[in-house]
Amino acid sequence: MASIVLDRLLRPKSIAVVGASPEPGSVSGLLLANLARFGYPGQLHLVSRSRDEVNGVRCLRSIDELPDGVDVAVLVVPQAAVCESVEACGRRGVGAAVVFASGFAELGEAGRSAQEQLAAIARRYGIAVLGPNCLGFLNFSDGVPLTFEPVQPPAPRSGPRIGIVAQSGAMSGNLRQAFLGRGLGVSFSISTGNEAVLSTEDFLGALVEAPDVDAFAVFVEMLRKPSAFLRVAARARELRKPIVLMHPGRGQRAREAARSHTGALAGDYQAMRTMVEREGVVVVGSMDELFDVTAILARYPQPVAQGRAAVASNSGALRGVALDFCEDAGLELARFAPATMQVLSGVLPDFMAPDNPLDLTAIGMQKPEIFGQSAQAMLDDADVGSLVMALMGGSPSQQMAKATSLLPVMQASSKPVCFVIMGDSGPLGQEFLDTVHASGMPFLRSPDRAMRAMAHVHRYGRLHAAAADRAAGAGIELHGPTRGPVAEYRGKQWLRELGIATPRGGLARTLDDARRIAADLGYPVVLKAQADALMHKSDAGGVAVGLGDEAALAAAWTRVEASVARYSPGLALDGMLVEAMARPGLELVVGARRDPNWGVVALVGLGGIWIEALHDVRLLAPDLTEAQIAAELRQLKGARLLSGLRGKPAVDVAAVAAAVRRISDLMLANPGIAEIDVNPLIALPEGEGVVALDALFIVE
């Protein structure tokens, strides 16, 4: 859809309500009440088959009586009448339609057929359809409340404005209420429902350039147009408009729940996360994080380019809690410079040595200026990129003293800050609350939530920095195209062409060939059955290792042939791969696959049996640089193995990163390759490279 069409939906000059009714509790009655409360300034047309007028406005009998070119029609009609109503809108040149009715793809195949019919009609006439099965939308900027959820016009607010896009109507309302309750501005709140025509990506694309949207909070159960989402995310990153995304579906039951809710067929969550984070999107795992991270980033959209976090409290007990929590959340704590330490020493009591997290002690009860002074000192430190100030509030007068001291410093800061008054839902003075909300500063009641949110804020900075550094593809092409699985011996030939070493060896068509190859290599050797269709050689008994002499080789040949024949009767082997035993090293897995939605996604992790036992892997975007790949390797749970344990040498991380980079290049340059799996890849000691012991290629 062109953006001008979406403007007709989102910023309409004229509205038609089809199925108008005055009953206060009806869908139409609630919608009309919203329009009246907001004082909608455009033209309003009502359509009703049974009424001459509603609320003093004359009703037309049918959509066909509407004037040409109404911007948007809100269809308050049952499911069975939706398609004919959209068809009628098309005949009158209506630009857009909001469809509240359910009973479409969320019900399964029968409903999906009706939804496809709806979409076909809309596309034929170029109608921008929101829904079906949606709650509509709110445009607070222009006073357009096209929803039946009862809403009030918000009080005018300065500061950043958030655009909310959620497939769930309840979630869009949940987010809106949370942000408005914190004193934040909301410009748009859109419930996209089943997305028969317009999807989340379309709305983000229409709003990313809008001057009245500064940040986005997005809740989706499926991103239907991944490439479009990535383009919008890249543009949002350029414009410094943060996108904070919550996308349930890490587990199978969550994916099934999403399908039953909106008819969405969830894709691969990890592939999605890998690719959207590459464009600077912050993916969160809870509603609390969605609220908190959006609230902070909306006010501080400039990514934290350098520096780490500072945490301060007037509770000494919080120091130990914060140290543990920051370690778990991945929030790195700053090391104060000597000049900062000197300033803080002059503020704190003599018995307290400054450190991070900072214990402000109870002196603030007598000297509330300590809060602003210590905050200023920390924010002036070059290694401090953010500040969480988590305090006990005390009496209403003490609360105000803290706010008076602290808020001016926070308001002047270009670094992200968060003000916390601990005590959960304990009461706070109204004057204090009014002052904090008027300040526009992020305010929470939980230090845990504040530190977790700030960890995402710092991650946002790292994602932006990484997005600016991308590897250029090498354009490596395959020789010998095929289809389906590729036998190991041919896959290893392709790896060697990439510059990735494999064990010395060769393909033996007969036992005599095997004897000659083994004699040239020197015992012990490995024997592996080879055929394109034999993807899981070990399961078939198709592998024999540690063969120490010619007799062992001959016995293994017979045994492997018989085992493979039992596993896959009638399978014709190309032969058997005879290879030298590999040097010991750290077993890793590297590879890549072509996700049907997100394209090429690379992988690296602990390999061999460890991949099944621990599943300690990282999914990677295919355009990471070798330095970025090496950094991802160090994020593995077993990363300490890379630097050597119990006397073992550090492994050649640079060579592993180079192998991942070359495999990614191969996938990017050859759309016919569906998957590459090298497991294990032996990482040798630093400077000695890697060796691929097994390789599986699948070609489409």
User: Under DSSP, is residue 8 helix (H, G, I), strand (E, B) or coil?
Assistant: helix
Give the pLDDT means over successive 10-residue stretches in the chain (700 positions): 71 98 94 97 96 94 97 97 98 97 92 96 96 97 97 88 96 96 94 97 97 97 95 98 91 48 57 96 97 97 94 92 93 96 92 92 91 97 98 96 97 97 94 94 96 97 95 73 87 94 97 97 97 93 97 97 96 97 93 94 86 82 97 92 86 97 94 93 97 94
CA distances from 295 to 45, 206, 346, 582 (A): 38, 22, 34, 54
Element (H, E) at 406: helix 396-412
C-alpha span between 450 and 463 (Å, rounded): 20
Topology (CATH) of 1-149: Rossmann fold (3.40.50)
CATH of range 154-301; options 3.40.50.720, 3.60.20.10, 3.40.50.261, 1.20.200.10: 3.40.50.261
- Which residue's entry shows tokens 């088959």? 49
Spans of all domains in the chain: 1-149, 154-301, 304-468, 504-580, 586-699
Q: Domain 586-699: give its CATH code.
A: 3.30.470.20
423: left (phi over 0), alpha (psi -120 to 50) or beta: left
- What is the CATH class of 304-468? alpha beta
> Between vectors from CA 437 to CA 431 and to CA 438, what angle results, nearest 5°?
85
pLDDT at site 266 = 41
Among candidate residues 521, 567, 588, 523, the one with its CA nearest the CA of residue 549: 523
Q: Which amino acid is at 471?
A: A
Q: Tell me whether the CATH fold assigned to 504-580 matches the one assigned to 586-699.
A: no
Is there a contact between 574 and 531 (Cβ–Cβ < 8 Å)?
Answer: yes
Question: What is residue 249's predicted lDDT score, i.e. its pLDDT?
Answer: 75
Distances (CA, A) of 538 to 59, 535, 545, 548, 677: 75, 9, 11, 20, 15
Maximum CA extent, the chain:
101
User: Where on the phi/psi map is residue 81: left (φ > 0), alpha (ψ -120 to 50), or beta?
Assistant: alpha
Instruction: From 363, 371, 412, select the one nearest 389 (Cα to Cα).
Output: 371
Q: What is the pLDDT of residue 256?
A: 52
Continuous H helices in 576-688: 610-614, 626-633, 653-669
Q: List, in sequence order, every residue forming a beta bridge with 311; answer none if it has no partner.
A: 388
267-286: string of b/e by CB count within 10 Å (b at 16+)?
Answer: bbbbbbbbbbbbbbbbbbee
What strands lie across the sheet with 185-191, from one edge to the other?
A: 144-146, 136-139, 185-191, 161-166, 215-219, 243-246, 282-284
What contacts 251, CB < 8 A, 6 or more positions away? none
Residue positions counted in the chain: 700
- The b/e string for 90-102 (b: 16+ C-beta within 10 A; e otherwise) is bebebbbbbbbbb
**d(Cα 244, Cα 202) in Å, to the nearest integer?**
17
Q: Is 427 exposed, middle or buried (0-12, 13-18, 19+ CB in 10 A)?
A: exposed
14 with 41: CB under 8 angstroms?
no
- Rounded-to-10 torsion of CA 16, 20, 26, 32: 50
* Tokens linked to 193: 């429902």
- Calpha distance 117→687 (Å, rounded): 62
Task: Give the H or E element holding residue 408.
Answer: helix 396-412
Q: Which residue has the tokens 């089943």?
A: 194
Please state the φ and ψ torsions of residue 677, each to the nearest 5 degrees.
-135, 115
Handedness of CA 4, 10, 13, 17 (dihedral sign): positive
- Spatial separation of the C-alpha atoms in residues 676 and 670, rounded to whole Å: 12
Architecture of domain 504-580: 2-Layer Sandwich (3.30)
SS (H, E, C) 486-509: ECHHHHHHHHHHHCCECCCEEEEC
